[in-house]
Structure 1
């Protein structure tokens, strides 16, 4: 099956560059002294978790590809670097938003992030996971459902890290519900993007 143009055109250095930019900002946030906007935002944990999450999808893809095609796995020029980049971009955007103090200076930034980042993340995951999924409506349901699950998981992680012993407990429910809705809507948009970028299945 032919790979999607979006995946094929992206060079290998792009996801590497996104990863390095993210790690570099996380390192500054963790170790540069006296920057108030980085205080109490768990950048030590992010410095470990974000790079691991960013390389998880490429690592799983390479392992699966190597199992199917042992020789091609190490020499393939058709790895889906575009999809890898889409999966990694939300982490870079999140860290950059903190570096530029956008979360505190723009009241709509957090909401935009939840929608746009889930759109990017689930488009990348959809391109990786749904190559053989038919019909198109099943792609939309699968991508949107996965996005909803990830949105819930992310909010649980935020609650555990920032809210349960913090000052945002009074508004946590409202904010969490809104973030989950925005993330799911972003995933729904990703489902349509993935489904309708592909050629229609043949009619017999």
Structure 2
């Protein structure tokens, strides 16, 4: 079993463990008052979307992969796990740069995973980058709308929400752009 497969499976186990602990001990989860119910629904779906797609469709008809795409799965699971860890350790509220770094890094991970899982390898670098921007920017907008609807509008964060949201959207888009550039370059590199 490859190291990437172990990493993806470990990330899923840790994600499910943190979600279960948030159900059992909501006051200790770090997500209380931060759309905890929505996170308890969306995060397991986010971590399982690729395995569910593979089980329902990809394993028999995928033109992209002959075997399960473990690197993509790991990259698509890490954003949910790292967000929960950051909330559990209260890093979003205590480390001034944490939220900005996470919007950049986690959108990059998610976008790279989606590209590896679903974008054909023969796309040009430009098209791969545009697909990354389209997915990453759309996902960032959906995330920010979700944050607003589920908890920002009724929290003290509402006072700074506009500026924070614009920054988050810009950082998520830049993370997606970087992911697109990295994936397109990696796909052009000769296999050794």
The interval holding the TM-score normalised by the smaller chain is 0.7 to 0.9
Matched-pair contact (CA < 8 Å) for 1:136–1:195: yes
* Equivalent residue number for residue 58 of structure 2: 65
* Equivalent residue number for residue 3 of structure 1: none
- Residue number among 180, 187, 190 corresponding to 1:191 in the alignment: 180
Cα distance in structure 1, aligned partners of 2:147 and 2:177: 22
TM-score, structure 2 as length reference: 0.87
* Equivalent residue number for residue 75 of structure 2: 86
* Residues 97-148 of structure 1: per-residue CA shift (max 9 Å, x gap): 0111111110110000000001111111111122244211110111111100
Matched-pair contact (CA < 8 Å) for 1:10–1:82: no
What is the total number of aligned residue pairs between the two structures? 188
* Equivalent residue number for residue 12 of structure 1: 5
Deviation at 1:39, TM superposition (A): 2.8
The runs of 5 or more residues in structure 2 that have no matched partner are none
CA RMSD of aligned residues (A): 2.3
Q: Does 1:26 align with 2:19?
A: yes
Matched-pair contact (CA < 8 Å) for 2:136–2:172: yes
Q: Does 1:167 align with 2:167?
A: no
The runs of 5 or more residues in structure 1 that have no matched partner are 1-7
* Equivalent residue number for residue 119 of structure 1: 108
